Amino acid sequence: MIHFSKLISAVEITNKTNDKIAALVDYFTHAPDKDKLWLIAIFTGKRPKRPVQTKLMRQWCMQITKIPEWLFQESYSTVGDLGETMALLLPEPTHQIEKTFSEWMQEIIDLKSKTDQEKEAYVRHVWSGLETQERLIFNKLIGGSFRVGVSKKTLVNALAKYSGIEANQLMHSIIGNWDINEISFYDLLQGEHINYDNSKPYPFCLAYALEKDLEQLGDVNDWQVEYKWDGIRGQIVKRNNEIFIWSRGEELVTEQFPELVEAIEKLEGDFVIDGEILALKDNGILLFNDLQKRLNRKNVTKKLLQDVPIGFYVYDMMEWDNKDIREQPLSLRREKLEHLFSSEATNNKTLFLSQIITSQNWQDLISVREGAREKDSEGLMLKQKNSPYHTGRKKGDWWKWKVDPLTIDAVMIYAQKGSGRRSGYYTDYTFAVKKDDKLVTVAKAYSGLTNEEIKEVSRFVRNNSIEKFGPVRTVKPKLVFEIAFEGIALSNRHKSGVALRFPRISRWRRDKPVEEIDTIETVKQLIHSPN
């Protein structure tokens, strides 16, 4: 646990990916193989079920520390994390417990079948034998809320640096089905339980934001123009009757989208295609927030399949009949894509060939771009017809031409402290607009302010708090901000009746009094307005 605790401390105090990778490589170099397996399992969501109710741990902590519930709650509100609150409140350890990480995990699993009295005796004994940081990790592991600022991609890159094995192979291996008690660390890395050749993806071709005048691009007929969609970039691999779906973040997400697998199974031949995963319903594209409900799910329920159905907009092909065709021009790759989708098997509500927008001149495309929101699109993609499918970004061949963001003026009414390095400041805000003579929340935002502005807002929150709800503070409605966002839609799940897509703070409107903020009526008017 000591070594694991040091690793967690190392990755939590930095936001630099290379530093996190270095800390992980050091752990893989020195930890026992079983501990390495458990780290991979924990970091990829393969956590055991919570063996102890957190309300019981909370009671035991108050009994040990002899503090009243109101003081515990006040401490919890200040810290913002239950496991950390208990770790800080508990007295100094009376002895030292030294066990490997895998031994701890096995004890936590075994605890599930114990009585509440046995669980209490075990937890009290452990608390008295661990330092604060180790106790914090134990609390999170046993409470089922262990989270760490390391993405699967960072973990995989660390394993790749440690082992010399290709990152995509490692991603397939650790995301696949494996049992920690039935596989060795070496066999997991080598992918003994998978066939990587069938799943191997290609690096994505990426676009730059348009930075030229349209006329500088030459003849409009030399460009393939499509709508830009706000979903998850996806790559679907079909080889030897096996299907794999990769996200742009190089994560294997096949199990999260069973309807895509079912639709791809109906297509003949082997291929690798590139496109956008979107939440589609009632002939429209749902908000990205809806799409997020389908992410990181081990099991996709029938209800979720019905509430958030998924579609795939296909716009490129990288492999056809086991041949890499990335060096062929886009125009030829498009022909093969259209041939694949000419089959009746594609006549469904899941797979869609991206629409090519035709125009006689660049001026016509300006109005098409301005109306993109009416089609739930972010703007347009401009792709040179003779371009190959590049690895990564190459300026000049692919451009993304997004619409300008929508904006409203709203007042901050709630604030909450951030996490990690920002835990001392209020950085998470909730904003409201006017509805009759009241305020109604319309968006949350976490970015857009400078460090100095964050400090200034934090001082305002401390001096102008009205109520406390756990870590959240209700503040006097005085600070007005311009909120920018990519799209807006009606929503029954929000009190305001609307949901904003990617809201963020555009600027602090120090010049505007709260009486002049937008009303919910003016906000709703943006739903049908292209500007």
- Taking Cα atoms as reference points, which of 406, 408, 386, 61 lies closest to residue 222? 386
Q: Token match 């492999």: residue?
A: 319
- Taking Cα atoms as reference points, which of 88, 86, 91 lies closest to residue 58? 86
Taking the C-alpha atoms of residue 278 and residue 375, their distance in angstroms, rounded to an integer, is 13
Catalytic hit among 228, 238, 417, 434? 228
- Asked whether 341 and 310 are in contact (CB, 8 A), the reply is no
Beta strands in 403-521 (DSSP E): 406-417, 426-435, 438-445, 465-469, 472-475, 480-485, 487-490, 498-501, 504-508
- Asked whether 318 and 336 are in contact (CB, 8 A), the reply is no
**DSSP β-bridge partners for residue 368:** none
Residue 228 designated active-site: yes
- Which ranges of 447-497 would DSSP assign to H, the alpha helix? 451-464
Instruction: Please state the separation of Cα 276 from the chain's center in Å.
Output: 16
Q: Which two tokens stand for residue 54?
A: 């957190």
- DSSP for 119-164, written as a single string: HHHHHHHHHTTS-HHHHHHHHHHHTT----S--HHHHHHHHHHHH-
Looking at residue 423, the DSSP 8-state letter turns out to be T
Taking the C-alpha atoms of residue 529 and residue 406, their distance in angstroms, rounded to an integer, is 10
CB neighbours of 236 closer than 8 A, spacing ≥ 6? 243, 244, 245, 246, 260, 264, 272, 273, 275, 312
- Asked whether 262 and 191 are in contact (CB, 8 A), the reply is no
- Taking Cα atoms as reference points, which of 204, 188, 155 lies closest to residue 318? 204
CB neighbours of 109 closer than 8 A, spacing ≥ 6? 48, 51
**Integer distance in angstroms from the first to the last C-alpha of the chain?**
56
Q: Which two tokens stand for residue 356?
A: 């090519």
- Helix H, strand E, coil C: the string for 262-308 is HHHHCCCCCEEEEEEEEEEECCEECCHHHHHCCCCCCCCCHHHHHHC
Taking the C-alpha atoms of residue 188 and residue 180, their distance in angstroms, rounded to an integer, is 9
**DSSP β-bridge partners for residue 236:** 245, 273
The residues carrying an active-site annotation are 228
